[in-house]
Structures are given as C-alpha cells and as structure tokens.
Amino acid sequence: MKKILHDKQSSDFQTWKLLDDHQKKIAATSIKGHFRNETNRLEYTWLEWENFIVDISKNRIDREGFDLLLELAKEAGLKDAIEAQFTGAKINYTEKRAVLHTALRSPDNSPILVDGSNIVPELRATQEKMYAFCDKVISGDWKGYTGKSITHVVNIGIGGSDLGPAVVVEALAHYENHLNIRFISNVEGDHHSEALKGLNPETTLFVIVSKTFTTQETISNANSIRSWFLNQAPKDAISKHFVAVSTNTKKTIAFGIAIENTFSMKDWVGGRFSLWSTVGLTICLAVGPKHFRDLLEGAGKMDLHFRKTPFEKNIPLVLALLSIWYNNFWNAESEAIIPYTQYLRSLPAYLQQGIMESNGKSIGRNGKSLNYQTGTIIWGAPGTNAQHAFFQLIHQGTKLIPADFIGFKKSLKGNSEHQNKLLSNFIAQTEALMNGKTKDQVKIELDASGIDYNEQEKLTPFKVFEGNKPTNTILIDKLTPSSLGKLIALYEHKIFVQGVIWNIHSYDQWGVELGKQLANKILDEIEGKNSYPHDPSTLKLLSKI
C-alpha cells in the first residue's frame, strides 16, 4: 500500500494556494454571473447516478475552480486513501483499527482481510443470526415469559448506538410492521420513565446496544430497566426479554444476557457508522430483514460508486470538495441540511454526530496543530417547516450558509396535490436563494401595491434579497430503504474525503472522553463520596445542587 499520510499542512499544498487565489479572483462574480459566463455549466455541475440527481450548479464556483478542487483531492492522495479504507488498512490510527463499515454492505463475499484474516464469513453468519432472530420476533414465534408474543421493542443506547437506528426507523416508518419501537438514550431518569410508560413487561423486548458496554448512560438505563422488569417478572424471564449488541461479551454476560441473545460487532465498525451492523437490530425488527437488506444494498451501491467513479462525477467526493471550498476559502461557518420530507426530520441530528464527531479535530495526522479550519458545523430541519423558522437568516442574514436540499420526486402515500406543493417549495427556495430580489423588482412590486412613493423608499431596502446563496440539490426518486442507504453512505464518504484533505483522523473521538471523566468525579461529589478542588464557578454551582 502506498503511503497515504502526509506530513504537510494541507494549506501547503500547491493547489490550496491556487484555490485561495482563485477564490479572490471570482469572489465578485455571482452564481448568476457564472451561469451567464458558462453556457455549458450544467455539463459539469449536473451529476446523475442510479435514482439520484445531484445539481451543484447553484454554487459560487466556475469550471476552473471546480478543476482545482478535483486537483486538490489528487494532491491529497485521495485515491490511495479510498483503497486503503476499503481494503482494511488500519486508518483509524490512534485506536489502531481498520474502518470497515463498508464490509457490512459489500454486495458479494469477496474476502476482506483484517490482520490477515478474512472477516466476511463471520460477518455473514452474524447477519444471518440477526435476520433469523428478527423473523422470529416479527412472526410472533418468539414468546415472552408468559407465552405472549412481543409487541414493543425498546432500544437502549446512545450516540451511534441510538442515533443511527432512531433516524432509520423514523425514516422508514412507511415500511414498518406491527412492532411498536421506542428509544431510550439520555441518562435523564425522566426520559426513561416516559419511554417505559404503559409498557407491559410480558410483551416488551429490550435491545441494549453498546459497542463498549461501559457507556454510563446506556448501562445506567439498562440497569434501571432491568430492576423495573424484575419487579414484575421472574429472573429467568430476562433471557426472553433482553438482548444485547456489543463487542464486549464479557460485560454482556455479566449483565445477565445469554450468549445466544448477544449479537456481536467488531471494533472495525465505528459507533457513528454502525447502523449497518448488528447495531441496526432495532431497524431490522422495525422493518424486517428484507428492507434491512435493501438498506445495506443501497449503501453498497454508493460504496461502489464512490470507489470506482472518476473524481469529477463522484457524488460524495464532489460534495465534500464544495464543502471544503466554502469552509476553507469562503470562511463559511456552518452548513444547513434541509430534507424535504418529515420522514428525514432527524437526519440533521444524525449527521451532526457523523460529521462533527469525525471531523471536529484540530491536530493533523502528523500530530501538529492545524493552521486552517476543519469540521463543518451542521444543522437543519425539514422543509417546508424550516422555511418558517430559520430561512430568514439564510436569505437575508449576514452569514454565508451553504445548504443541501434533499427531496424526493414521489411521495410514499401518493397524495400528488401535497407532493406538488412540497416540490414547488423545494425548487423555489434554491432558485430564490440564488436569484434573490433586486431593488428594481421590489420597486415594481411596491408600485403595483399602490403604496405612496415615500413609503416605498423606506421599505425597499428591507425587501431586497441579495441572493447568491449557494445550494446543492439532491433529488431522489423515492424514499425507499435502498435510496436511504445510498443517501446515508453518501454523507459517510463525504466525511471521509474531508478528513483526508484536511489530513486529520476522522475515525477517533477523543474529544468526548474529557467530559465523561469529569462527570464521574462530579458524580462522586454530588453523592457526597469525595471532593475535589474546583474553580469558584463550579464550586458555587455544585453547592446549589
């Protein structure tokens, strides 16, 4: 394998400097200006693949800038980095692990080696075990301790062990079966009490999901729920109502979960990339193995697209480069993700973990501080609701906020009147963000409304829209398990590309450790077991609890 790490600051790349100059050169040209200058603009800004259309034409970039971005990816050694990831190199350097969530959705059984061993046979066996279990629960053959079938499933987990399953279960609600699914994540007692409300222990299955099986929130919730359960059921009922997903079988056994009820996962699956693994057990219960397989199949297709497609037509890669363009050359502070469907209302929150836990790093792979921005800040909410909330700031605020608009041509329930309205908003917004509204247009409108001249003069500046706001449009046929798999995998690969170009380690998450350590100390203090020195603010806060 070629060397994929480099010792440079990425800002030392020759292309980085050229991009810096190029940004200055085209800064005064609007997106509309680029359309005027480039009669063939859609040739390179319109990407079509399978049932995806990605239109990147409404961006502050021209052909020369686009080519420079592609060149940057080459200079950063992206091609070798992609191969290293897919073939099991230990690219999670600080944890000394391979990164192979892609193996879980690989379309065939070609060997994938980790430490010289083929991981595919075991992962297929684990998948089959999960599918067989889910079939049994869904069909009602799996019986609780009083002989009744399962009606409710509660997923207990946090971070990647919650967000991935939760976002997909919500997104695929159209495909769900009769099982009623709930999620408990926060350590907050009120949250878990609410989630347990009305549950019958005889017909409830608890799925404890924790890669490490040491996470405070998950283990506290699991312990409290086990006590709640044992207040109503005998001890040997545990095996019919509690299953675990973890790499840590010692701990799952110690918790009391039978080995046959434990679904293993491997350390080469990162928490925030784990919904494709047994962490997706709750998804598989909610929609059944067929749809779960379709989800994997869709993601597998996106993997192939990412691995094999030339850079300029490679969707995750191009979107990653545009994001770098705004983050590093236009000083954009954040990006919005606006799915035009309520089914994807939690997608921005899910991607926050994926994107910000992965690329929120300030140390380069060479161990030195970086002298450029990394880690885009992601936020968003579904359209059209978002239009009535924060779109004001995107349209007329002072900040530059590039946005991804994600829409689906067909609705799932077939109400075309509503779908037409939804899609008209979807298209209108990106057009409006680009075109804005000029002073002359405002004047014509005000004239027509009959307002007197003085009043018109006063109102005009507030009604002008500067426009030139960049957007990507991702238009997909229909929200199916397969297209959802493609979409999530698209963003995963985008994260990877950005990490390579920024020269950071995207697959560790040391930044969440400090808070965990401190919380344990403070817990000791709240419970009166110990005391530690603190700053005056922390001391006073502690005295108030």
Under 8 Å CB-to-CB from 379, ≥6 apart: which residues?
334, 335, 336, 337, 348, 352
22 is catalytic: no
> Directed axis angle between helix 63-75 and helix 481-502, to 10°?
70
Q: Residues 203, 178: contact at Cβ < 8 Å? A: no
Q: Of the two residues 53 and 356, which places its CB atom closer to ligand F6P in the complex?
A: 356
Q: Residues 265, 277: contact at Cβ < 8 Å? A: yes
Question: From the candidates 357, 486, 493, 505, which is the catalytic residue?
Answer: 357
Query: Which letter does DSSP use for residue 352 in this model?
Result: I
Q: Which of 240, 272, 305, 365 forms a contact with ligand F6P (CB under 6 A)?
A: 272
Query: Which letter does DSSP use for residue 92 in this model?
Result: B
From residue 454 to residue 493, the character string flagging contacts with ligand F6P as x (rule: CB under 6 A) and all else as - is ----------------------------------------
Nearest in space to 305 (alpha carbons), one of 518, 446, 489, 483: 489
Question: How many CA atoms lie within 13 Å of 158's alpha carbon, on the beta-carbon side?
Answer: 18
Under 8 Å CB-to-CB from 367, ≥6 apart: which residues?
none
Q: Is 169 in the site for ligand F6P (CB under 6 A)?
A: no
Q: How far apart are CA 82 and CA 87, in angstroms?
A: 9
- Cα radius of gyration (the chain): 25
CB of 512 to ligand F6P, least distance (A): 4
Q: How far apart are CA 80 and CA 102, in angstroms?
A: 16
Q: Which of 77, 88, 159, 289 forms a contact with ligand F6P (CB under 6 A)?
A: 159
Q: Residues 79, 1: contact at Cβ < 8 Å? A: no
Q: Of the two residues 106 and 210, which places its CB atom closer to ligand F6P in the complex?
A: 210
CB of 340 to ligand F6P, least distance (A): 28
End-to-end Cα spacing for the chain? 56
Nearest in space to 312 (alpha carbons), one of 325, 303, 321, 300: 321
Q: How far apart are CA 250 and CA 514, in angstroms?
A: 25
54-62, 88-96, 211-219, 387-395 -> range binding ligand F6P (CB under 6 A): 211-219
Q: Which of 23, 185, 215, 376 forms a contact with ligand F6P (CB under 6 A)?
A: 215
Task: Please tell me whether residue 519 adopts helix, strand or coil conformation.
Answer: helix
Structural element, H or E, at residue 209 = strand 204-209
Q: Of the two residues 341 and 358, which places its CB atom closer to ligand F6P in the complex?
A: 358
Question: From the candidates 17, 418, 478, 516, which is the catalytic residue?
Answer: 516
Instruction: State the sign of the Cα–Cα–Cα–Cα dihedral 421, 425, 426, 431.
Output: positive
388 is catalytic: yes
66-74, 137-145, 204-212, 491-499 -> range binding ligand F6P (CB under 6 A): 204-212
Q: Of the two residues 174 and 251, which places its CB atom closer to ligand F6P in the complex?
A: 251
313 is catalytic: no
Q: How far apart are CA 373 and CA 413, in angstroms?
A: 43
Q: Which of 11, 212, 334, 342 forms a contact with ligand F6P (CB under 6 A)?
A: 212
Q: Of the two residues 93 and 532, which places its CB atom closer to ligand F6P in the complex?
A: 93
Sheet holding 52-55, edge to edge: 46-49, 52-55, 471-476, 403-408, 334-339, 377-379
207-215, 387-395, 432-440, 531-539 -> range binding ligand F6P (CB under 6 A): 207-215
Q: Of the two residues 272 and 365, which places its CB atom closer to ligand F6P in the complex?
A: 272
Q: Of the two residues 244 and 287, which places its CB atom closer to ligand F6P in the complex?
A: 244
Question: How many CA atoms lie within 13 Å of 157's alpha carbon, on the beta-carbon side?
Answer: 33
Q: Residues 303, 344: contact at Cβ < 8 Å? A: no
From residue 68 to residue 107, the character string flagging contacts with ligand F6P as x (rule: CB under 6 A) and all else as - is ----------------------------------------
From residue 303 to residue 342, the character string flagging contacts with ligand F6P as x (rule: CB under 6 A) and all else as - is ----------------------------------------
Q: Of the two residues 113 and 519, which places its CB atom closer to ligand F6P in the complex?
A: 519
Instruction: State the sign of the Cα–Cα–Cα–Cα dihedral 70, 73, 75, 77.
Output: negative
From residue 489 to residue 518, the character string flagging contacts with ligand F6P as x (rule: CB under 6 A) and all else as - is --------------------x--x------
Please work out the total of residues on this chain that contact ligand F6P, with binding judged by CB under 6 A: 14
18-26, 205-213, 223-231, 450-458 -> range binding ligand F6P (CB under 6 A): 205-213
Q: Which of 15, 218, 376, 472 forms a contact with ligand F6P (CB under 6 A)?
A: 218
Q: Which of 103, 154, 158, 495 forms a contact with ligand F6P (CB under 6 A)?
A: 158
Q: Is 211 in the site for ligand F6P (CB under 6 A)?
A: yes
74-82, 85-93, 206-214, 234-242 -> range binding ligand F6P (CB under 6 A): 206-214
Question: How many CA atoms lie within 13 Å of 197's alpha carbon, on the beta-carbon side?
Answer: 6
Q: Which two three-digit tokens encode residue 24?
A: 């200055």
Q: Which two three-digit tokens encode residue 316?
A: 């995750």
Q: Of the two residues 65 and 160, which places its CB atom closer to ligand F6P in the complex?
A: 160
Question: From the candidates 388, 413, 529, 544, which is the catalytic residue?
Answer: 388
Q: Is 519 in the site for ligand F6P (CB under 6 A)?
A: no
Q: What is the length of the chain?
A: 545
Q: Which residues make up the interface to ligand F6P (CB under 6 A)?
A: 158-161, 210-212, 215, 218, 271-272, 357, 509, 512
Catalytic residues: 357, 388, 516
